[in-house]
Amino acid sequence: MTLILDGTIAAASIRMHIATDVAEYKKKGHRPPCLIAILVGEDGASMTYVGAKKIACEEVGFIGEVRRFGADISETELINEIQKINLDDSIDGLIVQLPLPKHISEEKITQTILPQKDVDGFHDINMGKLAKGAADGVKPATPYGITLLMKHYGIDVYGKHIVVIGRSNIVGRPMSMLLSAAAPYGNATVTLCHSRTKELSSFTKMADILVVALGKPGFITAEMVKDGAVIIDVGTTRVVDASRKSGWRLQGDVDFDSVFDKVSAITPVPKGVGPMTITGLMMNTLEVYKAKFV
Ligand code: NAP
């Protein structure tokens, strides 16, 4: 029988553990962890994501604050705001919701965040630590969340052949580094595929675990996967759906119905990887907070 790797169930369980940890720190007289999200402009999807992160903070006992700025804020003004947060010891984590307006360099903003507060894990220092296999860096939230999801469902990665499709800096590449690290939840043999990979199916068919992050709805079909494989579908693309009030629904990169009977476990879209990205963010915030008391 195929196991559904339900991100909402795993997230609820992990967030309960986070809440218990936070309550213990508070009992010892410490302030709660604090996560700030900066939101620039009025992008609807960004407002939804930031709102979900704030709710998750409240659930686990963090202070979660959204600092909103108009789309006309200058790059220098935004950098000044980030630097103020960098210097504020009462704030543990900072995320700047992307995308930003075109006149602001996302790269410059990402690199302005203090690496110790970069709970999205996008700063070069944190990516560098990940590449070196160092244990003390902040891991990018989506790949970290995926490892938490697989761990929750008892999926072992040690010595497995894992094929990752997509080499973006927020998903595919850090995913490949995390899973191949000589770390407790690592030691997999990882193949990283991308749009220039020749004969992609010859790699996907060899995968014990297939992580798909390319943003092409329904791209992976049954004939591309091995019997009994574990499938992690990161893709979330809005596709037209006239039956919905909104007129759209989210679709993953995997043709769920066609692969379902062939694989041993699979993430649904939505409610698979999505909730785990926020859980990765919460775990990162907890970890940077706890590191202050060691
Ligand atoms: P991205 O930056 O656009 O990267 C896509 C990657 O897929 C690129 O490396 C690209 O290769 C590769 N690719 C494109 N077409 C391909 C093909 N035909 N064969 C093999 N590889 C191909 O995307 P991303 O930011 O990583 O996001 C990927 C998907 O995950 C999107 O749907 C996004 O919405 C979703 N996502 C979900 C979450 C979540 O929390 N659920 C978080 C982040 C992202 P090249 O490098 O050669 O161009």
Q: Helix/strand/coil (H, E, C) string of 152-164?
A: HCCCCCCCCEEEE
CA of 148 from ligand 1 middle (Å) equals 20
Summarised one tens digit per residue, pLDDT across range 144-201 is 999 999 999 999 999 999 999 999 999 999 999 999 999 999 999 999 999 999 999 9
Summarised one tens digit per residue, pLDDT across range 42-85 is 998 899 999 999 999 999 999 999 999 999 999 999 999 999 99
Q: What is the pLDDT of residue 7?
A: 98
CATH code at position 103 = 3.40.50.10860
Same-domain pairing of 161 and 249: yes
Number of separate domains in the chain:
2
* Residue 251 among the catalytic residues: no
Summarised one tens digit per residue, pLDDT across range 228-247 is 999 999 999 999 999 999 99
Considering the domain boundaries, does residue 74 fall inside one? yes
Same-domain pairing of 176 and 79: no
Considering the domain boundaries, does residue 100 fall inside one? yes
CA of 58 from ligand 1 middle (Å) equals 30
H-helix or E-strand spanning residue 64: strand 63-69
Considering the domain boundaries, does residue 121 fall inside one? no
Alpha helices in the chain (DSSP H): 7-27, 44-60, 75-87, 106-112, 124-132, 141-152, 172-180, 200-204, 256-259, 273-291
What is the domain range of residue 193? 141-274
What band does 135 get if pLDDT is binned at 50, 70 and 90? confident
Considering the domain boundaries, does residue 288 fall inside one? no
Residue 112 pLDDT greater than 90, yes or no: yes
CA of 132 from ligand 1 middle (Å) equals 23
Same-domain pairing of 161 and 110: no
Ligand 1 atom 6: the closest Cα is on which residue? 166
CA of 169 from ligand 1 middle (Å) equals 10
For residues 259 and 293, which has the higher predicted lDDT (pLDDT)?
A: 259
Considering the domain boundaries, does residue 122 fall inside one? no
* Residue 120 among the catalytic residues: yes
For residues 294 and 2, which has the higher predicted lDDT (pLDDT)?
A: 2
* Residue 72 among the catalytic residues: no
- Coil, strand or helix at 107: helix
Summarised one tens digit per residue, pLDDT across range 20-44 is 999 999 999 999 999 999 999 999 8
Residue at token pair 């220092």: 125
pTM equals: 0.97
Is the CB of 268 inside a 6 Å radius of any atom of ligand 1?
no
Of the residues 92, 118, 120, 208, which is catalytic? Answer: 120
Distances, alpha carbon 39 to alpha carbons 42, 99, 118, in Å: 8, 9, 15
Is the CB of 191 inside a 6 Å radius of any atom of ligand 1?
no
